Structure 1
């Protein structure tokens, strides 16, 4: 009887402890990271973006007045929501921080605005976010670099924007100018890192200093193969901020990500990059932005087709008509029948392809109307590419002229990689 009684008491205490622990777990309000996924050969571990690693950065924000540089991609995903699930579950970073009693007092918005609805190149005005009542300071309007007044009273800036790894995609220019301002006024900046969907290669012409603009502020290739956190480290340490200043930089890295990872963006990074195909083709078809060729704006297949009325309709059998739509109110060749190519089912690229640019030029019936000279050189980062195409050089010959600069950049890049 004594042995049975002891066993019964031990069993009772064990059950009581389990129930007690379960009850405490259910009532806990501690904010923690998303639990790590188990990696198997047929199911790689889920990539966890920097914003989701709240336990790593919430202590850094406590008792501080925070400014956030953000847009519609600045979200915290619920578990498994970032795996391409169409029924996404997420909360915006700003909403989440406010709910956790972090003193967010100001929002800074890049090109396309805080909610990501403005056209490419469209001026974005200051305003107030209707959802939170927070003041919004535009960094794509009257000025693109935060002023001392913009930063007044802030203890830290949080930067969280999804990038796509292309030099003329302007979010990295915004990052650079924000870092410069933070360095000048002694305000720390925290970058919540996210994977680069074009992070698996480097390619394209390297920007020459005389073509510096908001479409390219540093001597990097067209595709630079770095996450936005890695890039922040590079511009900070290479002395690329104005007057050689250095920001007080902290980076919350992504987990389970490498540069060979396939990362499908759960949200549009901007209005005219609607899917993985457009993002993959963007480095190549984005060069058409510096020409009078339409690259799919004004259709549902942005950066998955190209065309113009002055391309040879006897050579190009595909045609379409750009229309005004959200994100492209006045696309090139609006209302005109464009002859060109549909690339919506083309193969995945690991390089910048010049095939379509060269083909379009060769079969252009009005070659003088092809290039917007200043715009094209700013997109390409050099005036050499236009000259090479006009001279009839092949893609292979043009690509050969990039190699020395790419090799130099690869050595610089290697110093700042966070991910394998």
Structure 2
């Protein structure tokens, strides 16, 4: 029949067209424009572990659960499109009759309203009635009594892959406390927006603390789930204990994929640019230089009243705002640089830190020694800058430590 013959030919041509456009593939889909034409291939979207409920609800049923959470602990309504909205993980689990006993809150608090470094108080969540135990107040490690009665602790917090960002320290202390009580730990993995590289000085043992508890570089290139496995297996938990650890992995994630965070992970990291510049500009936190706190461009600019206005033509004035009630140099004109349009980085840059030091009118007061060392993880970086070494020479001094860490890191990567 002519109609059937024509239909067969049409279907065959349609099939060939699909093949040519790459629409039939194991791990890619095709984006289509409004006019119906085919655009470039796009990779499958990342699915966070919290959305993979079929993988972990069975581990929670019938258990008394404690949860370490903050505003980023969400299940996205559109699993592959975070912009469709979300529901907090705790709200979702309660609606599914999971027996949540208490919430543990990290730096910035469960609802994420506290300033950096501001103590977080115990309390009760007004939305759920759950008791909240602070892990950024009187104690940063759960006590035996605070874990009493729990069968499992679930950890789900968005990290940004920078050593001095304190959520990984909270994870480590939770794992240690749970190991001592034989309480299993369940980590729901999330992407690392700085997971595409490894760089920076390595934390030295004598300087380890809450801004860096393990011998890792400033940027370590691992998801929080991969990091949990590494510290567990490397014997980095206090006393060499090992937690009963389960990590629910991401779907469709690789370390080279870019990931735009739909929720700011803390008050002073408002967007992708701030998160990408944070490893480099975060080093200013241990100096007298303001890194954008008290503006709407946190970690996208830096400045101070004592920096040379002849060299630094850009200026701004920090004022109290969300996440920074008392910013450095509040109400003073700060001379510095605007980096809000700077291209995406894949290294820790020292050029801005060095330039600020060189063009400071009072170099003797530039560094807060203890604070800078805690962020850098070593006294060597400050000494190198003060002695006039250039960025490339300083970076060369990191390479042996980076090579050793990468060999360790490779054993625990879940994703390519």
The residue correspondences of 1:8-157 to structure 2 (distance < 5 A) are 39-40=29-30, 42-79=41-78, 82-83=81-82, 85=83, 88-157=84-153
Alignment-derived partner of residue 20 in structure 1: none
Q: Residue 413 and residue 54 in structure 1: after superposition, are their counterparts in 2 closer, same or farther (change >3 A)? A: same
Secondary structure, aligned partner of 2:209:
coil
Deviation at 1:37, TM superposition (A): 8.8
C-alpha RMSD of matched pairs (Å): 1.1
CA apart distance, 1:151: 0.5
Contact 2:45 2:80 (8 Å CA) reproduced = no
- The 8 Å contact of residues 69 and 107 in structure 1, kept in 2 or not, is answered as yes
Deviation at 1:42, TM superposition (A): 2.2
Question: Which of 198, 208, 213 matches 1:217?
Answer: 213
Name 1:300's counterpart in structure 2: 296
CA distance in 1, matches of 2:221, 2:80: 25
Deviations 1:231-264 (A, max 9, x none): 0000000000000000000000000000001100
Q: Gaps (5+ residues) in structure 2?
A: 1-25, 31-39
The DSSP-based 3-state class of the residue aligned with 2:322 is coil
Contact 1:81–1:90 (CA<8 Å) still a contact in 2? no
Alignment of 1:132-211 (within 5 A): 132-211=128-207
Answer yes or no: is the 8 Å Cα contact 1:175–1:232 preserved in 2.
yes
Which residue of 1 is the match for residue 262 of structure 2?
266
User: CA 1:82 to 1:122, structure 2 compared with 1: closer, same or farther past 3 Å?
Assistant: farther
Of the three residues 373, 384, 387, the one matched with 2:369 is 373
| Residues in 1 aligned to 2:198 and 2:27: alpha-carbon distance in whole angstroms | 30
- Give the drift of 1:326: 1.2
Consecutive unaligned residues in structure 1, runs of 5 or more = 1-35
Is this contact kept in 1: 2:104–2:134, CA < 8 A? yes
For the Cα contact (< 8 Å) 2:187–2:247, is it kept in 1? yes
How far, CA to CA, are the matches of 1:404 and 1:412 in structure 2? 13
Count of residues in Structure 1 that have an aligned counterpart in Structure 2: 382
Counterpart in 2 of 1:247?
A: 243
Structural mapping, 1:397-408, within 5 Å:
397-408=393-404
Match of 1:321 among 314, 317, 324: 317
Q: C-alpha deviations, 1:89-123, integer Å up to 9, x for none? A: 10000000000000001000000000111000000
Report what 1:9 is aligned to: none
2:3 is matched with none
- Give distance in 1, aligned partners of 2:285 and 2:209: 15
**C-alpha distance in structure 2 between counterparts of 1:271 and 1:339, whole Å:** 23
Structure 2 counterpart of 1:31: none
Contact 2:46 2:80 in 1 (8 A): no
Deviation at 1:43, TM superposition (A): 1.9
